[in-house]
Structure 1
């Protein structure tokens, strides 16, 4: 996980997964030529038609035909930009690219990473220069969150899961992110509960999901076989306390316009804001 810069306008100081905005360059035929492991139909099936329509409404710059592949590629690009992990392989090879054994290669890819961060290089151009293929079968779609309706800025966010490459060393970018750590989901949740590892509601909930699995492989295999629900939290005030209700909660307004695109979540369905920046999952009886 990486820590957002304290001066970030969005999620300042929070520990988050590497990620960011979908770029128009992610959603092109040129970019799609560098993917493997999933056909166009399989990409569509991974998201579902209605799910992709949600993203299309929030990414007007994206070409509809390549929106699905673009979402995968945006995840790959942002993970490399923010964490230095590149889910790619050389054309004709099976294993993911080695960025540790050859110092010259490692240096060259550090430059590529800087160029991507500065928007002077597109992911497709990087793939062409280095003869890279992006193996989408190594990435699974894990969660889908949309910002609550009351927020002035709203985001339609996909979460993906992948097994980490063996021959790469992750590191935050020292720009948008100022710290990074490998941490077990249950340890991240415990640190959040102690108040020294701030997590946003989507991050907290997905970590709780990951706690259900004994291994990263088990979580990945589950994600490959399941469609995640669309989650739009609903804010509720009670006695000066702020709560978020998730789909499936008895008080969730699932029959109201806009909320009908959601599906019930597994497990706890309520969060409470304890203080600025700190959220906790709670049991139903602990909220109105």
Structure 2
């Protein structure tokens, strides 16, 4: 477990929670994807002000694991679930669900689909009405992700995800997540779309600019952007990823 010092205002909230004998809620398993494109830009969403968690904050696409992400095995390409389990130090079914959630959430929240007809290709433009209908059905949980892929003759391209880090929400927060962060390149032929719903604004910007204070964001987002800015480029970040331990949780503390 790695500790990360909270900003002063959040550190005081943590100390107050401890003084008052607060009982932390369990952290829900989640996945987040840092979409990258040349010339070294990251994709951010601003969550709407009415959201119960991280309202009005800039975040990466992501969200909680759906139970069906673990229950059904979709068509799969890239490292096998067992390999992901070893890399993330999780049970195989849990690792599979974390990877599925990453691919599903980035499609739901940005319109980008990390899947293809086979292990060597990626689907192209997915902005048409049929794709949009399916995306909305996924959000509503009327459609399972494995079923969605099967209907469209697609396999999940797990090799397009690069594990980066893991963050656990501080104990004083009423909503907590145990979140695995992944990097992914924007597939050729696809575009991010402002698909609304949980976000009211989207931005592509360099990691250094995004982390310089102009956007309101939680520590994990800002810290990840600073790490990417320090890497200096997409190739350098991807080259550094294998030497990181994406299973060693970072826990913000006072």
* TM-score (ref. length: structure 2): 0.78
Greater relative CO (CA pairs within 8 A, separation 6+)? 2
In structure 1, C-alpha distance between the alignment counterparts of 2:138 and 2:128, rounded to whole Å: 15
SS of alignment partner, residue 52 of structure 2: coil
In structure 2, C-alpha distance between the alignment counterparts of 1:12 and 1:151, rounded to whole Å: 13
Asked if 1:77 is matched to 2:104, the reply is yes
Alignment of 1:130-141 (within 5 A): 130-141=152-163
Structure 2 residue runs without a partner (length 5+): 1-43
Pairwise CA distance, 1:225:
4.0
Q: Mark the structure with the bigger radius of gyration.
A: 1
Could you tell me which residue of structure 2 aligns to residue 99 of structure 1? 125
Pairwise CA distance, 1:180:
0.8
Could you tell me which residue of structure 1 aligns to residue 19 of structure 2? none
SS of alignment partner, residue 165 of structure 2: strand
Deviates more, 1:160-169 or 1:147-156: 147-156
- Match of residue 34, structure 1, among 32, 50, 75: 75
More strand by share: 2
Pairwise CA distance, 1:135:
1.5
Aligned 8 A contact 1:163 1:217 in 2? no
Aligned 8 A contact 1:34 1:132 in 2? yes
Asked if 1:220 is matched to 2:238, the reply is yes
Asked if 1:129 is matched to 2:148, the reply is no
**Count of aligned pairs:** 210
In structure 1, C-alpha distance between the alignment counterparts of 2:206 and 2:81, rounded to whole Å: 34
Q: Deviating runs (4+, > 3 A) in structure 1?
A: none
Alignment of 1:169-188 (within 5 A): 169-188=191-210
In structure 1, C-alpha distance between the alignment counterparts of 2:179 and 2:194, rounded to whole Å: 21
Aligned 8 A contact 1:162 1:220 in 2? no
